[in-house]
Each structure stands twice: as structure tokens, then as C-alpha cells.
Amino acid sequence: MIETADQIFVLLKHWLVGFLPAGWQPVAGVALSVVAIIAFFPALFALTVWIERKGLGRMQNRIGPNRVGPLGILQPVADAIKSLTKEDIVPLSADAAVHFLAPLLLVAAVFMGFAVLPMGRNMTLVNMDAGLLFYFAMGASTELAVFMAGWSSRNKYSLLGAMRAVAQMISYEVPLLMSSVAVVMMTGSLSLTKIVAAQNHYTWGLPHWYIFTPWGFAGFVMYAIATTAETNRSPFDLPEGESELVAGYHTEYSGFKFALFFLGEYLAMFSISGLGATLFLGGWSAPFSFLGWVPSWIWFFSKLMLSIFVFIWMRGTLPRLRQDQLMNFAWKFVLPLTLLNLLVAALWRFLGEGWERWVVCLAILLLAYAFMGREGMRRGHLGPRRYRYAE
């Protein structure tokens, strides 16, 4: 019973595919999974939008949307209908082809990311040997889409927004990769299923998630920071920067293309937090051994929703960083720490079992954090603002 619940979707797929002739079955299987992903995640997007708006409202001591449907549950539906029906205005001087292609490329690239995420026990769309690498390759192409959007709309603000977004994404892509490399180093494989399998065993009921190791925890923190920056969320949402840049690179977009951008952004959030869950929180493995009976995919999605909640939470509380602070923070704090984390992971691996490795790793990390944080950041005191105009 537990087994079927766990493998419900897999069985369902096999059952459906069974109707087709043998030759077609593998392709049909894959197609079916793709359709499932494409259907489920936009729905989750709608739900998250509602959660976010209600959550933010509650955080800011206001109710949030409650007009459409009970508790405003149908608010996302209303938004969807609104974006579909709105007129799609394309600026005259805009570069039509690139303008049209940008959102498509963005969404496509993000969807590609979901192919390798292990959502449940043997519920990975493509069990690739270099899964993680594939995921980051797809992640890398989103920057290009952002740039195309910003540049094609021929609008100074959008170009500026695009430039800021690309710069930020590139700056934080390196720490993102570096922190995940630590995990790869420990499991010895790039395939995500192997990584989850490596975390999926328990001692005294406690799971072997990487987050419970010093380097894992530091890695997870760095990873979380990098992800918020990658998805231009909350403290790092400078590109949108409503106050100065109107809507950033998707100012000139309206109607469905704007919705696509919005969808793309949330999908990126889902996939990046899904990856985070697989890498550090043990993917679909249960938090406690005795909870093993609960279907694996439930754990995956609950961890996913947990990080989404954290995103929303951060958005509601943290102030926006300035551009140079943001860059400084990336190159002078996050990156060095992740590199150090790699060193610590190596130490962890070769010090062997026993309490010494805990002490050593913790000591190094805390010391580095304190020293780096205190010294590194001080230099960036708020000197007089120096304006430099483009030549």
C-alpha cells in the first residue's frame, strides 16, 4: 500500500503507456512525464502567487487578496485571465524577433531544468549521469534570455535593468556552482538520484542529510543566498527595483509575454529550491526513519514549499541591497566562503569518523565567517557616493 502510494505516479504512467504499441512506449512515457510536469508546475505557480500575496499581506499586517473567491483563492485565476486578455503592446523601435523570443527562451530553459530533478523515488524524468551539470547548463542560458529581453525593448531602463540582472546572475552563478560542487565531491557523482541515495539512510532515526554536516550547512546557506540572487528575489530584486527601474527588463512587456516572464521567474524559483532540497535536504527522503512510510514525492514537494515560504518570508522582511554592495557581497564574501567550504569538505572527508572532524570543520567555518564578515564588509563603509557616467 505504501509502495503504491509512493509509486502512484509511476504506476499511473506505466498504466497509461501500456495502451500504446510497444515501439512507441518509451517516447510516450517521456512525453507523458513532460506533460505532467508542464501541467503541475504552472498550477503550483498559481497557488504560490496566491500564497505569496496572502503571506506578504499577513506579514505586513494586512489581509491580502480576498475578493476573488473565498480567501482570494481564485485571485491567480483572475490574474491569468487578465494577462491573457490584455493587449500585447510591442514598442515600435523594439527589435520584434528578439523581443518575442526572449520570454519563450526563458521559460523553455527553466522547464528544461525540471527534467533532472528526482521528485520521488525513481520519479526522475531523465536519470542523467551528469544531471547537475545539465541543470546548471540550462540555468546558464537564462541570463541570455534576460539580456535579450532587456536589449530588444530599446528602453534605457529595461537595458539598465537587464544589465544589472545579467551581472547579478553571473556573479552569483559561480558561488551557486561552487557550493553544489562540495556536495558532488562528497557523493562522488553528478547524478542527482545518486546524491539523494547517498543521503537516504539514517542513524538513530536521524537522516544523513548533508545539511547536518558543517560544510553541508555552510554550503546550504551559501546556496540559499545564491539562489535568491539567481532568481532576482527579495533582497536581490534590484533588476525589478520597482522604485527606480519601473519593472526592470520586462517593462516593455505586457499581456501574455509579461505573464510568461512571471511564470518563468516562479518556475526558476521552484526548480532552484527543488535542487536545493535534493542536494542538501535529502530530496525525497523522509526526515525521520519512522516516517518512511509517507510517499517520497510528498517529502520532496513539502521541502520545496518550505523554501518557497522562506523566499516569501525574506521578501517581506529584508530591504533591497545596493548594486555595488550586492556585487561586493558576491565576490568578496560568498565566493571565498564557498571555496573555503570546498576545503572543509575535503578535510571532512579525509579526517575520517570521529568527533575531531566536527570540531576542526566547525572551527574553520565559524572563524572564516567571523573574520570574513567583520573585516571584508567593513571596508565597504558607506563612503561618499561617486557617480561615474558612461562614456
189 binds other proteins (CB under 8 A): yes
- The length of the chain in residues reads 391
**124 in Cβ contact with 174 (< 8 Å):** no
Q: Which three cell numbers stand for residue 351?
A: 579526517
Type of residue numbered 58: R
Q: Residue 89 Cβ, how far from other proteins at the closest point, in Å?
A: 22
Q: How far is the C-alpha of 239 from the C-alpha of 241, rounded, in Å?
A: 5
**275 in Cβ contact with 117 (< 8 Å):** yes
Cβ atoms within 10 A of the Cβ of 289, count?
14
CA 325 to chain centre: 22
Q: Which three cell numbers stand for residue 4?
A: 503504491
173 binds other proteins (CB under 8 A): yes
Interface with other proteins (CB under 8 A), residue from 3, 129, 242, 244: 129
Nearer to other proteins, 73 or 160 (CB): 160
Q: Residue 374 Cβ, how far from other proteins at the closest point, in Å?
A: 27
Interface with other proteins (CB under 8 A), residue from 115, 119, 148, 344: 148
Q: Residue 271 Cβ, how far from other proteins at the closest point, in Å?
A: 16
Q: How far is the C-alpha of 87 from the C-alpha of 99, rounded, in Å?
A: 15
133 binds other proteins (CB under 8 A): yes
Interface with other proteins (CB under 8 A), residue from 45, 50, 111, 134: 134
Q: How far is the C-alpha of 48 from the C-alpha of 42, rounded, in Å?
A: 9
CA-CA distances (angstroms) from residue 142 to 3, 111, 152, 208?
38, 11, 15, 33
Q: How far is the C-alpha of 30 from the C-alpha of 26, rounded, in Å?
A: 6
Interface with other proteins (CB under 8 A), residue from 25, 141, 302, 328: 141
What is the secondary structure of 269-299 as a DSSP string?
HHHHHHHHHHHHS-TT--SSGGGTTS-HHHH
The mark string for 75-114 relative to other proteins (x by CB under 8 A, - otherwise) is --------------------x--x----------------
339 binds other proteins (CB under 8 A): no
Burial class (CB in 10 A: 0-12, 13-18, 19+), 360: middle
**117 in Cβ contact with 273 (< 8 Å):** no
Count CA atoms within 13 Å of residue 106 on its CB side.
30
Nearer to other proteins, 98 or 314 (CB): 98
190 binds other proteins (CB under 8 A): yes
What is the DSSP-derived secondary structure letter of residue 251?
S
137 binds other proteins (CB under 8 A): yes
Interface with other proteins (CB under 8 A), residue from 18, 26, 188, 373: 188
Q: Residue 383 Cβ, how far from other proteins at the closest point, in Å?
A: 16
Interface with other proteins (CB under 8 A), residue from 37, 56, 73, 128: 128
Q: How far is the C-alpha of 210 from the C-alpha of 198, rounded, in Å?
A: 9
Stretch that binds other proteins, among 134-142, 215-223, 253-261, 295-303 (CB under 8 A): 134-142
Stretch that binds other proteins, among 26-34, 185-193, 271-279, 310-318 (CB under 8 A): 185-193
350 binds other proteins (CB under 8 A): no
Q: Residue 137 Cβ, how far from other proteins at the closest point, in Å?
A: 4
Interface with other proteins (CB under 8 A), residue from 130, 246, 314, 339: 130
What is the DSSP-derived secondary structure letter of residue 249?
G
125 binds other proteins (CB under 8 A): no
151 binds other proteins (CB under 8 A): yes
Q: Residue 180 Cβ, how far from other proteins at the closest point, in Å?
A: 13
147 binds other proteins (CB under 8 A): yes
Interface with other proteins (CB under 8 A), residue from 166, 222, 260, 361: 166
* DSSP H or E segment with residue 203: strand 202-203
Q: How far is the C-alpha of 21 from the C-alpha of 30, rounded, in Å?
A: 15
Stretch that binds other proteins, among 77-85, 119-127, 140-148, 234-242 (CB under 8 A): 140-148
Task: Using CB under 8 A, list all residues that contact other proteins.
Answer: 95, 98, 128-130, 133-134, 136-138, 140-141, 143-144, 147-148, 151, 163, 166, 170, 173, 188-191, 391
